Amino acid sequence: MREKFLSFSLPLVGQEEIDEVIEALRSGWLTAGPRTRQFEQEFRAAFQTPGALALNSCTAGLHVALKVLNIGPGDEVITTPMTFAASVNVIEHVGARPVLVDVEPDTLNIQPDAVERAITPATKAIIAVHYAGHPVELKALRAIADEYRLHLIEDAAHAVGAEFEGVPIGCNSNLTAFSFYATKNLTTGEGGMLTGPQELLDKARIISLHGMNREAWSRYAAGGKWSYDIVEPGFKYNMTDLQAALGLQQLRRFSRMQERRQEIVAAYNAAFAPHAAFITPSTRDHVRNAWHLYVLRMRPSELTIDRNQVIEEMTARNIGTSVHFIPIHMHSYYRNRYGYHPDDFPVAHTAYRNMMSLPLSPSMSDQDVADVIEAVLDIRSQFARRRMAA
């Protein structure tokens, strides 16, 4: 057994990031400034997005997207229960009603057919979450959105580097929000990026900084003018240059970090796929999976302990794990507000009860990966359900 605890998801931060942050500190420009704009430009070029707006979180990106599209009280937004609360909280923030539909059994992404069945005259948008880094069925959802004249917003918190039919996520005309939280494939500690058509991002930029018609960058730089106007009540959602400094260097090593994630995934799949006790993550042929998470599902019929006990056993072996996610309809706020029951979305509920996210980070050594595999297989061996001889 390991002597040192393996954290679930340690970021890979090297000397390059440290040096860039130090240079940002020495520059005297700490808030949104030249590095933030540079990060936006390099992100846009790297992932071929129409435009890019750096923000302080993916949540901010989703909130601003809804505001830019004028979604508010009386409107409905269809989304998935298999996501973090932020994806749905923002719908509440603008006064709209979230409408949940169930997920696909293999990818755990939102079911397009279920989306179409949930559409009413009040429906104005779909928020599609690329769960664990596997893209949703964008073509089917785009067809539904076009037919019913709905906005399609992409929650790509897990999907930096993912592709659908060879096209990078964020490359199309949908407003798409990315996350650079500490555990994400590309991190700025906290942070996010909103991509989409430039004319919408121009509006989003104003909303994201108090509703001011001019940023600090244009007011406080050499030759800048002090005057500004508040054109609408906005928010304080900007990224800082200290965050962007991290992002710039993370972006430059991104391909190498993704390759390491794929190596770890391949090792996990080879170890776990042969065993009936486990359901390994699937990837459809027409997508590139970003592999933000490795979600291993247990088959209760094959083990004498449940998911919670498996996690306890992993912890006892000094391996950190997590669960992604407690479905939205099981949280007390949404359960009480909308009268949800656990089995209202049976695919999401069943998956949740049996899932465990394993450590997956480019910072992991080969020995770390071997330790995770050894722990999982040891638990499987110890708690496998024995079959009676015929």
Taking the C-alpha atoms of residue 255 and residue 186, their distance in angstroms, rounded to an integer, is 10
- Catalytic residue from among 184, 203, 225, 236: 184
Instruction: Name beta bridge partners: 366.
Output: none
Domains of the chain: 15-252 (3.40.640.10), 255-383 (3.90.1150.10)
Q: How confident is the model over 276-323, as pLDDT tens digits?
A: 999 999 999 999 999 999 999 999 999 999 999 999 999 999 999 999
* Nearest partner of 188 among 57, 289, 360, 32, judged by Cα: 57
Conformation bin of residue 180: beta by default, left when phi > 0, alpha when psi is -120 to 50: alpha
* Nearest partner of 40 among 166, 234, 137, 178, judged by Cα: 178
Check residue 386 and give its pLDDT. Answer: 82
Q: C-alpha distances in angstroms, 213 versus 222, 226, 230, 231, 232?
A: 18, 12, 6, 7, 9
Longest CA–CA span in the chain (Å) reads 87
Across 171-192, average pLDDT: 98
- Prior bond to 325 cis, omega within 30? yes
Check residue 98 and give its pLDDT. Answer: 98
Tokens of 2: 């390991």
Average pLDDT, the chain: 96
Taking the C-alpha atoms of residue 225 and residue 221, their distance in angstroms, rounded to an integer, is 9
Q: Are 328 and 78 in contact (CB under 8 A)?
A: no
Check residue 90 and give its pLDDT. Answer: 98
Whether 203 is a known active-site residue: answer no
Q: How confident is the model over 195-253, as pLDDT tens digits?
A: 999 999 999 999 999 999 866 555 556 666 778 889 999 999 999 999 999 999 999 99
Q: How confident is the model over 97-154, as pLDDT tens digits?
A: 999 999 999 999 999 999 999 999 999 999 999 999 999 999 999 999 999 999 999 9
Q: How confident is the model over 22-61, as pLDDT tens digits?
A: 999 999 999 999 999 999 999 999 999 999 999 999 999 9
Residue 388 pLDDT exceeds 70: no
Taking the C-alpha atoms of residue 125 and residue 113, their distance in angstroms, rounded to an integer, is 15
Taking the C-alpha atoms of residue 348 and residue 169, their distance in angstroms, rounded to an integer, is 24
Check residue 142 and give its pLDDT. Answer: 98
pTM, entire model? 0.96
Q: How many residues does the chain have?
A: 390
Instruction: Name beta bridge partners: 127.
Output: 153
Check residue 387 and give its pLDDT. Answer: 67
> Alpha helices of the chain — where are they, by DSSP H?
15-27, 34-47, 58-68, 86-93, 112-118, 138-148, 198-207, 216-220, 241-252, 254-272, 307-316, 332-338, 346-354, 366-383
* Nearest partner of 24 among 193, 244, 217, judged by Cα: 244
Across 7-35, average pLDDT: 95
Q: Are 177 and 157 in contact (CB under 8 A)?
A: yes
